[in-house]
């Protein structure tokens, strides 16, 4: 279900890190990987040109694990992980919708897609297969997954 791309701002808990995105939030991804489960990631994905860090670059700390491709950034003051560069597309940004201002998860209409990050390789292969099939249909763009 494609919705409208809108501008949103968000940040960490203490306010040191602030960012703005242009995103379509009609579909959010819940990844089952060990990291996203613990941080409660409800992801939306945007290309780098639709992510703008407004402040707090010096407050960001990087956490990496496993293949060390994904970049999990968090605020060194309050510990909140608001966004990351996912393993599936390190040049894109995955933002935790829970960190957006004025985005009420209970009031909004959105679909939740599950990415089986616990079985990342198989889930990624399934996603790419599905993207190839969907590319035959010009109305749907492949949806980037999480890690
Ligand atoms: Zn903070």
56-113 pLDDT per residue, tens? 999 999 999 988 988 999 999 999 999 999 888 889 999 999 999 988 888 888 899 9
Ligand 1 geometric centre to CA of 55 (Å): 11
Domain that holds residue 18: 6-134
Ligand 1 geometric centre to CA of 65 (Å): 22
- Tell me whether residue 121 is in a domain: yes
Identify the pLDDT of residue 87.
86
Stated pTM of the model: 0.82
Please give the tally of structural domains in the chain.
Answer: 1
- Tell me whether residue 139 is in a domain: no
Ligand 1 geometric centre to CA of 81 (Å): 9
CATH number of the CATH domain containing 13: 2.170.150.70
Mean pLDDT of 31-48: 93
Closest CA to 134 of 126, 147, 115: 126
Task: Quick: pLDDT tens for 1-10.
Answer: 567 899 999 9
- Tell me whether residue 129 is in a domain: yes
- Tell me whether residue 1 is in a domain: no
User: Which residue in the block uniquely carries the two structure tokens 């407004």?
Assistant: 54
- Tell me whether residue 145 is in a domain: no
- Tell me whether residue 106 is in a domain: yes
Q: Which residues contact 25 (CB under 8 A, 6 or more apart)?
A: 3, 6, 8, 44, 97, 100, 103, 108, 110
Name, of 26-30, 110-114, 135-139, the range with top average pLDDT: 26-30
Ligand 1 geometric centre to CA of 31 (Å): 23
Ligand 1 geometric centre to CA of 11 (Å): 8
């Amino acid at each position: 279900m494609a919705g409208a791309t809108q501008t949103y701002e968000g940040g960490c808990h203490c306010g040191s890190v602030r960012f703005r995105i242009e995103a379509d939030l009609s579909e959010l991804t819940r990844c089952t990987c060990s990291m996203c489960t613990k941080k409660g990631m409800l992801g939306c994905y945007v290309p780098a040109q639709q992510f703008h860090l407004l402040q707090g670059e010096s407050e960001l700390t990087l956490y990496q694990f496993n293949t060390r491709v994904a970049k999990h950034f968090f605020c060194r003051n309050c510990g909140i992980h608001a966004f990351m560069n996912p393993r599936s597309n390190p040049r894109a940004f995955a933002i935790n919708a829970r960190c957006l201002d004025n985005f009420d998860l209970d009031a909004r209409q959105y679909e939740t897609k599950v990415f089986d990050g616990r079985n990342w390789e198989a889930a990624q292969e399934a996603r790419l297969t599905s993207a190839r099939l969907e590319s035959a249909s010009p109305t749907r763009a492949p949806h980037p997954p999480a890690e």
